[in-house]
A and B are shown apart, each in its own frame.
Chain A
Amino acid sequence: MLKTFKLGGIHPRENKLSAGEKIKALPIPEQVVIPLSQHIGAPATPVVQKGDTVKTGQLIAQAAGFVSANIHSSVSGTVTAIDYVTDASGLSKLAITIKVEEDEWIPEIDKNNKFLPNITLSKEEIIKAIANAGIVGMGGATFPTQVKLTPPPGNKAEFLIINGVECEPYLTSDHQVMLEKAEEIIVGIQSLMKAIDAKKAIIGIENNKEDAIEHFQQIANRVLGIEICPLKIQYPQGGEKQLIQATIGRSVASGALPISVGAVVQNIGTAFAVYEAVMKHKPLFERVVTVTGKSVKSPGNYLCRIGTPISQLIAAAGGLPDDTSKVIGGGPMMGRSMINIDSPITKGTSGVLIINEKEAARKTARNCIRCGKCVSVCTMGLEPYLLEKLAVTNMLESLEIEKVMDCIECGSCSYTCPAARPLLDYIRLGKGRTATMIRNRK
């Protein structure tokens, strides 16, 4: 009996079209555009100026405050602009544009591919290395990792939980990294365990990645303290709270952080980035991105430099199909639809999904038939039909009482609704307004 979370959940078609596609390195573009805000928290402040020459891996923007992250150049070349560019949503964000000239890396990075198993750094040095490398949550949340690894005093981390679930349909980047870089990931996990003084690490992997489970189990058997936990194929198995409940059986209270139950959760791609930072002194400037979609000619997993335009990635996968209706950054359940496909790949871009009109078109919303299916699939035990109604009528106090702030925006309710009501759209709106109300209260 596979472990899973207790409430709700759905099982959309997995459509892992790019599964098994080996990671290919995408050629470096002629120009990269690196946004200054690729993470949760304050945008980084630039430390280079227009006209400067930079090398691959060089620091180009400094973290601005505690909850922020460093940003490094992913190419070598000349900084041509530090200006506003249009991001994927069409809005203007500050970014550093670098014209590429060859690919010279900073000398500190160990370019050698040799696997290094022994961690020589101390706990503090590990955290410092992670902070310097600008590592953020690679699953898409982009939370600065060093902040997660320094819990507030009085909180002790018992478990390190590694999210190898990749529950979103279509995405396979984590799966490939697990298959190709398993040993490195284990060392990364050991570094993280050392950083938070956790005695046990549990890697949660969804049961549709049996090869990865087997591979990891073989390696983990030789190592102390790391356990592999196969999980039932259910969305959103990879949600932080759901994963903690499934793996160690503890439920994070409403409004609380995972550290309150002694858990720290990290994405498996982040663990790999930690290995590179700690053992190879390599900052985060490239990542594996899945390009996929039913009409895409050759879906695959590509190792891309941060700042590469997404159009180049799409071209490598065979070009934009004619029946393209939506281009989504991320997975189909929680990804963001893009309007500007020349926008750059950022640290949080786990996949580019191209959907055709048949799959993308939203049906006309009808009356709520009170079937209760949204209630039965909600993983947080909320009542989406009620939250939608309260959000539409702007009853913010009632929304707070109905625990709208607990919503993880997984999208299971909208996915299930037979009347095709845009439940999550309104719930998100209500959540934002309620958060503002709560903030203004203080």
Chain B
Amino acid sequence: MSTIIITIISLCAIGVVSAVILYFVAQKFKVEEDPRIDVVDGLLPSVNCGGCGYPGCRSLAEAAVKSDTLDGIYCPVGGADTMNKIAEALGREIKVEAPKIAVVKCNGNCDNRPRTSQYDGARSCAIQHSLYIGDTACAYGCLGCGDCVTACTFDAIDMDITTGLPVVNEKCVACGACVKACPRSIIELRKKGPKDRRIFVSCVNKDKGGVARKSCKVACIGCGKCVKECPFEAITLENNLAYIDFEKCRLCRKCVAACPTNAIQEVNFPARKVEVNMPKPTPTPKTVEKTTEVAIETPKVELDIKMTRVEEPVEVVVETPQVSTIEEKQVETVQVTEIETVPSFQAEEQQADAIKTEEIQAELAKITEALREENPELKTQEEVKTINN
């Protein structure tokens, strides 16, 4: 019995003595750290993906606390929510940044870009890229070995076996790992866009137009039509390659139609309002003069009533769909006119549903009236023609 008591007492004594020693040592060797770092660290998602550019969430927390502003500090995984919370916790201003997503700027699948050789080495884009031009004639295009898929820690990018191109899904948090992994810099982080809509030049080929076109049907040939077409000067042409600045782009889709090789892609847009029975892709130069008989199945008209941001008198050309027979002659040009929409997506989405033909006519008449009231100079296309004739 006494053994048990002695054991218990001695063990308790050792415990107490150790606790006291540990307490004093902990106090003496304590590392002074700003307590806010712990607070910020707690707000971060603790994924440690490195997408912010810092090695781990704790480092980002330290940087956020140490710097005066929150410029350059952005957690792509947490997004605007997390950044707002951090800004609140630290009492600082935060710049709102639009969410981004990884975009694969290449559309060279097997149909568009024929294979010229068979690659038999290790399945790695970096290795294939350093070895030779790739299994197609395009020295810039996607190699399809999946270095980007391997690099992604969010399961957000997958290789589509049928096309040989990677596909980004909604899990993407724009951490930038795939961008770094791609040896040909085909992937770019671009703004997600409202309703997930984006427009981008799906090509990174810097060869001259003829060379590029020979290697891929949907290559950017550097013709510059999109540059001319863009009303917001969002497109630049450099090294035979067009690039759309996503900050300036208003998603009007004029460039998409203008591109002769269909190199510009529009993602998550509703189908175009004019469905045309035409073989594509054929060059579709925009003309306003000629009218051709067009068969319309479900005409969609974007009706914009709000005309707030008018910088200069805009010639609003109202479309007049003509329901008539299709003439089976060579339909070279297609009259695809669009209302110079002011970037107001709300209006677009409200009215984007198909309306029957008679209703369209009625609506159009009403609109024409309303517009004429505001600007008596406006003329419909028919009137323009009749005047000219």
Contacts and interface: CB of A to CB of B under 8 A. Distances in A.
Tell me, yes or no, whether A and B come into direct contact in the complex with CB atoms closer than 8 A.
Answer: yes
Given A425-B121, A429-B124, A90 B130 contact: no
Nearest to A426: B122
Interface stretch (B30-38, B131-139, B152-160): B131-139
Contacts of A365: 122
Given A339-B132, A432-B130, A426 B137 contact: no
Interface in A340-361: 360-361
A92 interface: yes
Interface residues of B, number: 15
B116 interface: yes
The residue among A339, A360, A426, A428 with the most chain B CB atoms within 10 A of its own CB is A339
A91 interface: yes
A362 interface: yes
B377 interface: no
A90 B120 contact: no
Interface string B123-157: 01011001111100101000000000000000000
B127 A428 contact: yes
A422 B128 CA distance: 13
A15 interface: no
A422 B130 contact: no
Interface in A297-349: 337, 339
B137 A90 contact: yes
Nearest to A433: B126
B116 A339 contact: yes
Contacts of A155: none
Contacts of A360: 120
B117 interface: yes
A90 B121 contact: no
Most buried by B among A90, A361, A429: A90
Nearest to A360: B120
A218 interface: no
Interface in A360-377: 360-362, 365
B277 to A, nearest CB: 40
A89 interface: yes
A392 to B, nearest CB: 8
Contacts of A361: 120
A339 B133 contact: yes
B121 A422 contact: yes
Given A90-B139, A92-B139, A339-B116, A425 B122 contact: yes
Interface string A79-95: 00000000001111000
B132 A429 contact: no
Contacts of A91: 132-133, 139
A89 B137 CA distance: 11
B248 to A, nearest CB: 33
Contact of B124 (A90, A92, A362, A425): A425
B133 A422 contact: no
Contact of B117 (A339, A362, A425, A426): A339
A425 B124 CA distance: 9
A422 B121 CA distance: 7
Nearest to B181: A394
A337 B137 CA distance: 16
- Chain A CB within 10 A, most for which of B116, B122, B131, B132: B122
Nearest to B129: A429
Interface in A402-436: 422, 425-426, 428-429, 432
Interface in B94-130: 116-117, 120-122, 124, 126-127, 130
Nearest to A86: B133
Contact of A426 (B116, B127, B133, B139): B127
Contacts of A92: 139
A428 B132 CA distance: 14
A90 B127 contact: no
A425 B127 contact: yes
Contacts of B116: 90, 339
Given A90-B137, A90-B139, A91-B139, A429 B126 contact: yes
Contacts of A432: 130
A90 B132 contact: yes
Interface in B158-173: none
A168 to B, nearest CB: 19
Contact of A362 (B121, B127, B130): B121
A362 B133 contact: no
A186 B133 CA distance: 42
A102 to B, nearest CB: 34
Contacts of A422: 121-122
Contacts of A426: 122, 124, 127
Nearest to A392: B124
B94 to A, nearest CB: 33
Interface of B: 116-117, 120-122, 124, 126-127, 130-134, 137, 139
12 contacts: A89-B132, A90-B117, A90-B137, A339-B117, A339-B132, A339-B133, A362-B120, A426-B122, A426-B127, A428-B130, A429-B126, A429-B127
Interface of A: 89-92, 337, 339, 360-362, 365, 422, 425-426, 428-429, 432
Closest 9 CB pairs of A and B: A90-B133, A422-B122, A89-B132, A425-B122, A339-B117, A425-B127, A362-B120, A425-B121, A429-B127
Given A90-B132, A92-B139, 7 more contacts: A91-B133, A91-B139, A339-B132, A425-B124, A426-B127, A428-B127, A429-B126
